[in-house]
Structure 1
């Protein structure tokens, strides 16, 4: 299928002693991506690391630095979140962006041994910190009134029926689940979420990453309720180096080589598989994407930018992908790109 939507996902790196410089550079990257014609810009949410720890807070700033591009959370680990407060924050960002937010969630609690006791009171191991918690966020986003039909709250200058504020009704259709397993894909489909699928998949079935991913995409579409948007966005680490200097090309190749061995086997009881990184000249990357049987099933492609690269690296990668890779796959920019 030709690519109709092109986006990128970035980690928002920063040095330990100067977080402002990295966060500001990431905001500039969002501006650059919009000017280049990208359809979406996504931010990872990372706890205890040198990266964005609150996607909603970061994207609230991005709403004031961009005008057209979709703004995504890729993804929010739900185990650390209060479902009502998170829904309030996401709805606020969506209103500020004028309906551009793409709210992505995942299950799991990275660094739970260090962090969970700081977030939760009582024995958090007894709590539902998985799909049920995501479901509670979605229920809050629906904006149904609280209490009975006669329940009102009073504030200075207003008497109103209570519900989550601000109410942003379109955000439910722009909510996503980061799915890596058949179980997560089933839950996303049955609950009407869009599907983010990327470089990691797990579960029984074919050993090859692309084969397993294609099966999961088919499963999702089979189970999706009628009337739901059912968007599927596929992520790949894509690093074209046509516009890079020779030393930078060598560094990119070293990065690829350091991660290649993990793609050669299935890992652990959960049968985790990793996709190969796509690093090289754009013509080679295009050929590999055309041969990717999972990529053939989607029309939305997401570049997953490597961790710990520089702002200059990211700009070069985004430019080469926009100018040389995506057009060969049928994509056209949403606006006139900035001058080459």
Structure 2
């Protein structure tokens, strides 16, 4: 493990109490948590994206605010739901964000997880999908997005271009362009097949918080196989870079009596769970809650944590700034160094340019 960050679902409520922030407070606290994490030396601040729910939904303003007020921490998503996106507008936003962040971006995108709304993307104006999950339009949009961020012309100049130095009818690309943005794009994969496709595309892999498969294997073992297939497919496709791989886990070090009271394990939480997602069996990873020395042993035995270079800790964001920074600092001080981590002093982990 080279780096670790936090993954926030951005839950909020109606502002009725300490653990029920409204949307404004949740956003401000997300920025404060990221700033505090940057000071601790945590490598990344990543946010889930869900629509029509009291959760984080529009990541670009939040990520821009964090990037503009921190020095080293990577900012990103896990993941943007392409079914809801205009690919060219997203390309503009992503290019601007990458420039604001000086390359400290890990933009996770995918077909998207099940949503609160029934085919909610159609309410955004994106119709025409023949797949009940919308995977077809998500893939089509993503391909357009990738072309746009790599400078492929998307339209032509007018016969008399207004406020532009372009020649009449000249091809025009999306602006702004960030030269290395492609190498900062991750695909969120929930299956081994999707991981292989991600490798063939030459992207980074963001292994999902759940896998849409249940083979009987432990979650970590199934995820490790997914990672191995991704890396094999990446090389076989002729890519020569060093793609990054992330996994997420719920990890709560117990270093105080308050930790034991808040995070003490409940029956069934120390094992993987099998559920139903999109009418199919899915595997959900366990929660790790223990004293630091035991957590170190458990995480070293987690094949996927060992195979990945980036670990995202899912945090209870609605619990406030102090508690979440305590969780991150406890992990950074008592657990992460034994897993190969060093405090972030220079910026995000960098591999070779991928592609």
After TM superposition, the structure 1 = structure 2 runs for residues 257-268 of structure 1, keeping only pairs within 5 Å, are 257=266, 260=269, 263-265=272-274, 267=276
1:188 aligned residue: 198
2:349 aligned residue: none
Mapped to 1, the partners of 2:126 and 2:281 lie a distance apart of 33
Is the CA contact 1:87–1:137 (under 8 Å) kept in the aligned structure 2?
A: yes
Is the CA contact 1:35–1:335 (under 8 Å) kept in the aligned structure 2?
A: no
1:318 shift after superposition:
0.4
1:262 shift after superposition:
7.5
1:229 aligned residue: 242
Mapped to 1, the partners of 2:291 and 2:269 lie a distance apart of 18
Secondary structure, aligned partner of 2:37:
helix
1:153 shift after superposition:
7.2
Q: Which moved more, 1:258-267 or 1:315-324?
A: 258-267
Is the CA contact 1:198–1:236 (under 8 Å) kept in the aligned structure 2?
A: no
1:11 shift after superposition:
2.2
Is the CA contact 2:270–2:286 (under 8 Å) kept in the aligned structure 1?
A: no
Q: What's the RMSD between the two structures over aligned residues?
A: 2.6
- Count of residues in correspondence between the two structures: 329
After TM superposition, the structure 1 = structure 2 runs for residues 58-207 of structure 1, keeping only pairs within 5 Å, are 58-108=62-112, 110-113=115-118, 115-120=120-125, 122-125=127-130, 128-146=136-154, 154-156=161-163, 158-159=165-166, 161-203=171-213, 205-207=215-217
2:11 aligned residue: 13
Change (3 A) 1:296 1:122: closer
* TM-score, normalised by the number of residues in structure 1: 0.88
Is the CA contact 1:207–1:266 (under 8 Å) kept in the aligned structure 2?
A: no
Q: Which moved more, 1:294-303 or 1:87-96?
A: 294-303
2:353 aligned residue: none
Mapped to 2, the partners of 1:324 and 1:261 lie a distance apart of 20
Change (3 A) 1:10 1:252: same
Mapped to 2, the partners of 1:265 and 1:121 lie a distance apart of 32
1:321 shift after superposition:
0.6
Residue deviations 1:16-47, cap 9 Å, x none? 35322111111011111111111211111122
Is the CA contact 2:214–2:282 (under 8 Å) kept in the aligned structure 1?
A: no
Mapped to 1, the partners of 2:76 and 2:126 lie a distance apart of 30
* TM-score, normalised by the number of residues in structure 2: 0.84
Mapped to 1, the partners of 2:275 and 2:123 lie a distance apart of 34
Secondary structure, aligned partner of 1:129:
helix
Residue deviations 1:24-76, cap 9 Å, x none? 11101111111111121111112222222111121111121112211111110
Mapped to 2, the partners of 1:203 and 1:335 lie a distance apart of 38
After TM superposition, the structure 1 = structure 2 runs for residues 276-287 of structure 1, keeping only pairs within 5 Å, are 276-287=286-297
2:263 to 252, 269, 282: 252
1:301 aligned residue: 311
Is the CA contact 1:252–1:279 (under 8 Å) kept in the aligned structure 2?
A: yes
